[in-house]
Structure formats: C-alpha cells, structure tokens
Structure 1
Amino acid sequence: MAIQILRDLRGLRVHVVHPPDSERSKLVEHLRRIGCMVDAHWPVPDSWADGADIVILSIEHDVRTEIQRLLKSDGSRRPTLIAVVSYEDPTTLQLVLEAGAVAVIERPIRPFGLLTNLTIARSLWLERREAAKKLHKLERKLAGIQRIQKAKTILMDGQGLSEADAYESIRRQAMSKRLSMDDMAAAIIHANELLQYRPKGD
C-alpha cells in the first residue's frame, strides 16, 4: 500500500492555504518537485476546494475564525489535511487538533521530511476513509437486522406466528415482490404504523 501511495503522490492535487511569503514559495516548489499539482490560496477559503486531494493549511491565530469556518464546511468533500505551524504552544496545538490534521509541517519549511509527511498523511486519511465506509456499512446492516426483528414481532403479535414462521413470511413476501428482506421489513413496519394511526377526534 505504501508503495502505491508513493506512486500516487505524483499527480495529486495539493492546495496550499498559506500567506504569500517565502515559506509558501519554498513549500510549493518542493511539492512540485515531488510531482504534485499545486495551487496556492490565501486568504482561507470558505469551503474545501473542488478536486483537492490534499490541503496544506497554515495555522494562523489571527484567522482562527476563518479556519474554523472552513473546518465546518461540507465534510463529505474533506480532503487529506496537513497543518503548517510555527510554534508548538498549547493554543496552536489545540487548533491543529480541532482541524483534524493527520500530519504537521514545521516552519522553517525544509525539503527533508516533506515526502514522508505527505505519504503518512495520505495513508492515514485513506485508512480512516476505509474505516468510515466499513462502519457505515455495519451500521446499515445493524439497522436492517433491527427492522427485520421489528417486522417479525409485528407479525408474531398480529398473526400469532412463531418467530421462524414470521421470518419465513417476510422472506416469501420479499421474494414475491422482488424486494430485499430489509425493504420488506420496512414496508411491514410502515403498514403497521398506518393501521395504528388514529387521527385526533376519531
């Protein structure tokens, strides 16, 4: 995986959000030497740039509000985030933690270590994204199991079926209607809720 990430670094779109100074110039130069496609921005944008694979964000205390606004923007588009810091004081570290950066680059910026930071940051970000996908899939599976269990209970209480027979009934109905078990269970629950609904005044 690490070798693949190293190969993929060439051609990645990196957005450098950093004040226009000599440090930014050095950083952009180093990144382009590695093979990244680099865009530099300042001031801090309101949202994540379209198509950015990695954002290297300068942690500046005088734009803390703007940084926090960026961090609260659309999380589904959030790229790999690397922080650039000048000091390791508690306030700076707190902002780095709030940002959720997966790597940190210290000023003065030097070529040595930049490739390592990019590789580690990208690897961690990809692992987190994969873990989030697996978690979401498990949550959906658990929710489906819970819906099927609820639908079984409805059939057991309403039709006097055993648990096995209730499950088989859901399975047969799902097959006949060409639905998943989960969708069939949701339909049974919805129908039961409609039957139980009584408008006020009835």
Structure 2
Amino acid sequence: MSIQILRDIRGLRVQVIHANDVEGQQLVDHLKRIGCVVETTWPPPSAYAENADLVLLSVDQEDRDTLHKLTRSHSERAPTVIAIVGYENPSTLALVLESGALAVVERPIKPFGLLTQITLARSLWLERKEQARRIRKLERKVTSMQQIQKAKAILMGSHGISEDEAYQSIRRQAMAKRISMEEMAVAIINASELLNFRPDSV
C-alpha cells in the first residue's frame, strides 16, 4: 500500500488555497515537479474543488470566517487536507483541527519534507476511508440480520414453525424470486404490517 501511495502522488489533483505570492508560487512549482496536477484558489473559497484529491490550505487568522465556512462544507468525498501555518497559537491550532487536516506544513514553506507530509496525510486519509467503508458494511450487515430476525419472528408466529424452518422459508423464497434474503425479509415485514394495519378510530 505504501508503494502505491507514492506512485499515486504523481497525477494527484491538488488544490492550493494560498495567497498568490512568491511563497505560493514556489509551492505550486514544487508540487508540479513532484508530478501533481495543481489548481490554485485565492481568496479562500466557500467549498473545496469537487475534483481535488488533496488540498493545501493556508490557515491565517484574518481569513478565520471564510475558513470556518470552508471547513464546514465537507462533502462525503472530502479531500485530504494539509494545513499551512505560520503560528502555533491556540486560535490557529483550533482552525487546523476544525479543517480536519491530517498534516501540517510550517512557514516558511520548504520543499524538503513536503513529499513526506503528503505521503503521510494520504496514508491516513486512505486508512480512514477504508475504516469508514468497513463500518458501513458492518452497519448494513447488522441491519440485514435484524430484518431477517424480524421476518423469522413473523413467520414463526403466523405459521407456528421453528426458527430454522422460518429461516429456510425466507431463503427459499429469496432464491425463487432471485433477490437477497434481506429484500425478502423486508417484503415479509411490509406485508405483515399491511395485513395488521388498523386505521385510527375517528
């Protein structure tokens, strides 16, 4: 995975949110030498570029309000963020934490160490993404199990059969209809709720 991250840095789509000054241009030039595809944005926008894989974000107190809006605009596909800071005071650190930055580059920006910070940040970002994927998968599995359990209880109660017989019944029906057991369970639950529906008395 580590080697792949290094390979993927070439061609990485990077949004640099930094003033258009000498330091900003040097940063852009170095990123291009690394092999990144760079887009510059200034002043700070209200949202990250939709196609950005990585954002290098200049964190300055004078842009505090704009940065608040920017860092709260995270979409489901939020990019990897690296903060660029010139001070280590509490308010600046609060902005860095709020941005969700996974690495920090100090001013004055030096080419040495930048590749390391990008690699570490991307590695952490990919790990978090994989963890989130696993959590979603587990949540779906738990939901599926709960629905199947509920459907089994319905069949056991309405037909007087055992838990295993109820499970096999759901399985057979799902196979016959070429749908998942979860979908079959939901259909059974919905049908049961419809049959047991009692309109409110007027």
* TM-score, L = length of structure 2: 0.94
| Per-residue CA distance 1:147-194 (angstroms, 9 max, x = gap) | 101111111122221111111111111111111100000111111121
Deviation, 1:105, is 0.5
Deviation, 1:73, is 2.2
Mark the CA change 1:143 to 1:195 in structure 2 (over 3 Å): closer, same or farther.
same
SS in 2 for 1:57: strand
* CA–CA separation in structure 1 for the residues paired with 2:65 and 2:191: 49
SS in 2 for 1:55: strand
Q: In the alignment, is the contact (CA less than 8 A) between 1:103 and 1:117 conserved in 2? A: yes
Partner of 2:2: 2
Partner of 1:132: 132
* CA–CA separation in structure 1 for the residues paired with 2:74 and 2:86: 28
Q: In the alignment, is the contact (CA less than 8 A) between 1:48 and 1:77 conserved in 2? A: no
Partner of 1:89: 89
What is the identity, as a one-letter code, of the residue corresponding to 2:185?
A: A
What is the identity, as a one-letter code, of the residue corresponding to 2:116?
A: T
Alignment of 1:157-196 (within 5 A): 157-196=157-196
| Per-residue CA distance 1:30-87 (angstroms, 9 max, x = gap) | 1112111111101222222122110111112222222222222252231111111111
SS in 2 for 1:145: helix
Partner of 2:108: 108
SS in 1 for 2:183: helix
Deviation, 1:140, is 0.6
What is the identity, as a one-letter code, of the residue corresponding to 1:45?
A: P
Partner of 2:65: 65
Mark the CA change 1:197 to 1:72 in structure 2 (over 3 Å): closer, same or farther.
farther
Work out whether 1:151 is the aligned partner of 2:151. yes
What is the identity, as a one-letter code, of the residue corresponding to 1:155?
A: L
Partner of 2:33: 33
Q: What is the CA RMSD across the aligned residues, in angstroms?
A: 1.4
Mark the CA change 1:133 to 1:94 in structure 2 (over 3 Å): closer, same or farther.
same
Partner of 1:200: 200
* CA–CA separation in structure 2 for the residues paired with 1:186 and 1:46: 41
Mark the CA change 1:42 to 1:70 in structure 2 (over 3 Å): closer, same or farther.
same
* CA–CA separation in structure 2 for the residues paired with 1:30 and 1:112: 10
Structure 2 unaligned runs (5+)?
none
* CA–CA separation in structure 2 for the residues paired with 1:24 and 1:116: 19
Q: Name the stretch that deviates more: 190-199 or 126-135.
A: 190-199
Q: In the alignment, is the contact (CA less than 8 A) between 1:17 and 1:56 conserved in 2? A: yes
Runs of 4+ in 1 over 6 A off after TM superposition: none
Q: In the alignment, is the contact (CA less than 8 A) between 1:84 and 1:104 conserved in 2? A: yes
* CA–CA separation in structure 2 for the residues paired with 1:20 and 1:117: 22
* CA–CA separation in structure 1 for the residues paired with 2:63 and 2:157: 60
Work out whether 1:55 is the aligned partner of 2:77. no
SS in 2 for 1:84: strand
Partner of 1:18: 18
Aligned residue-pair number: 202
